[in-house]
Amino acid sequence: MRPRKIVIGFMAAISVLTLASCGGSKDDGAKTGTLNFYTNKAAWEPDFDELNSQSKGDVDIKLNTTGYSDAEQYDAFIKQSFRTKKSPGLFTWQTGPSLGELVDDDLVAETTDIWDKAIDEGWIDKSLRDAYTYEGKQYCVPMNIAYWVMYYNKNIFEKHDLSEPTTWAELDEIAKKLSDEGVTPYYQTSTLFTFPWFQQLVAGTDPELYEGLATGKVKYTDPKIVEIMETWRDQQKDGWFSDAGSKVDPAVGLKDGDFAMINFGSFFNGSLDGAGMKSGEDYDMFVIPAVNSDLKKTPVAVESGPLCVAENSSQKTLGLEYSKWWMSPDAQTAWNKARGDVAFNPKAKVADPMLEELGDTVGGKDYETYDRYYEATPTPILTVALEQFGAFIANPGDPKPYLEKIQEEADKYWADQE
């Protein structure tokens, strides 16, 4: 049984897109063939290619994958493509307000029938449907789900006689001991993924405070948020985080001991395996304890990245046929083997025992999930927040100027929603 979810639904939003849906071309109706697929996860391209033998055999469809490594360039390309005859038959996107914007402009194909079948077959828990629902209809299907946990280098933990923490106080003790003994506790970066620690501190302190930021009911300049940012600043000044400007691949950094722990999504197993580490031997993971020990359940950030079909694509039918297959146990077993992640289909076989255990743990009564900050936050606010968190990481000081800039953008956004 899935944990109770903190619902942060799609906000009824006035579209920020200036796109017209008059582009595109007529659906050719093909149900088999080569499907053009675009993704912002360029590093995963070999994993998608690996699935081609399975999908070719099952439904006679294979992907022609084009991967982008720059998120902003990718978003711009996808939005621009809706104006042309090259609207993608299949593409990756984000849940939350970003998907709501595409739905508002009729740019993405409905998938309600696919969801109904998958739920009837027991291929997916219906609670996950909330994140894909807009005005009672579903759009896109889950590419994956990932829980944001703490990965750690087992050799470092063993060398320093450390064990997985069960409380936030124990986690702080581990970080302090590592720092005192010359080991950088945590990974951190000043580009794009600048939000995880902020997300962890806020949601782990007060889930309602975190949800309030996503809905505009809480200001970034709230004294509680300022206090949390001051805690983050103090940890940075204590040397608890790695060089935020480092260009070293974070998987390689954990392997080489540049830092002992990294807060990342459970899809990170694939990167660590690719870096030559062995699951359960060289690295392990734990659910990060709540900052606030009075919370009845431990909050865990969940990310569900969608696979979408463009409404005006010439490959609309082909994309939807692939989406149907993607939900099946055979497809998800093959994907899990190729990529290594928590499976959203309970009938799929999970190759990595560590990930199977994580799914069972988070699905237990002591945990509750919440939407990852990246998906929960409206795009205009997110863009400014990622920049300001990055600036704060690069120059940790008084957090108020950074928070005021984010709130300035939030005020503009929420005023437009009234």
The count of residues in the chain is: 418
Q: Is the pLDDT of residue 20 over 50?
A: no
Q: Is the pLDDT of residue 13 over 60?
A: no
What the block records as the tokens of 83 is: 């104006």
Q: What gap in Å lies between CA 262 and CA 285, rounded to an integer?
A: 9
Q: Which DSSP string do the residues of 213-259 spell out, in sequence order?
A: HHHTSS-TT-HHHHHHHHHHHHHHHTT-B--TT--S-HHHHHHHTS-
Q: Is the pLDDT of residue 95 over 80?
A: yes
Q: Look at 81 and 139; give whichever has higher pLDDT.
A: 139
Task: List the beta bridge partners of residue 38.
Answer: 66, 91
What the block records as the tokens of 314 is: 């010439």
Amino acid at 156: I
Q: Is the pLDDT of residue 408 over 50?
A: yes
Q: Is the pLDDT of residue 160 over 80?
A: yes
Q: Is the pLDDT of residue 8 over 60?
A: no
According to the model, what pLDDT value does residue 5 have? 40
Output the average pLDDT for the chain.
91
How do the domains of the chain map onto residue ranges? 33-145+303-367, 147-301+373-416
Level-2 CATH architecture, domain 147-301+373-416 = 3-Layer(aba) Sandwich (3.40)
Amino acid at 189: T
Which residues, 6+ apart, have CB-to-CB distance to 396 below 8 Å?
232, 233, 236, 237
Which residues, 6+ apart, have CB-to-CB distance to 166 below 8 Å?
289
Q: Is the pLDDT of residue 14 over 70?
A: no
According to the model, what pLDDT value does residue 24 have? 57
Give the three-class secondary structure for 117.
helix
At 184-212, the pLDDT tens digits run 999 999 988 999 999 999 999 999 999 99
According to the model, what pLDDT value does residue 330 have? 96
Torsion sign (Cα): 254, 292, 376, 354: positive
**Span 90-112, average pLDDT:** 92
Indicate the fold that domain 33-145+303-367 takes in CATH: D-Maltodextrin-Binding Protein; domain 2 (3.40.190)
CA distances from 5 to 22, 130, 203, 370 (A): 37, 10, 13, 6
Cα 118 → chain centroid: 22
The structure's pTM equals: 0.81
**Span 275-283, average pLDDT:** 96
According to the model, what pLDDT value does residue 126 have? 84
How confident is residue 6, by pLDDT bands cut at 50, 70 and 90?
very low
How confident is residue 282, by pLDDT bands cut at 50, 70 and 90?
very high
At 60-69, the pLDDT tens digits run 999 999 999 8
At 329-343, the pLDDT tens digits run 999 999 988 887 788
Q: What is the DSSP letter of 288?
A: P
Percent of the chain past pLDDT 90, that is, above it, reads: 74
Q: What is the DSSP letter of 140?
A: S
Percent of the chain past pLDDT 70, that is, above it, reads: 94
Q: What gap in Å lies between CA 370 and CA 207, rounded to an integer?
A: 8
At 320-332, the pLDDT tens digits run 999 999 999 999 9
Q: How far apart are the first and last CA of the chain?
A: 37
At 257-268, the pLDDT tens digits run 999 999 999 989
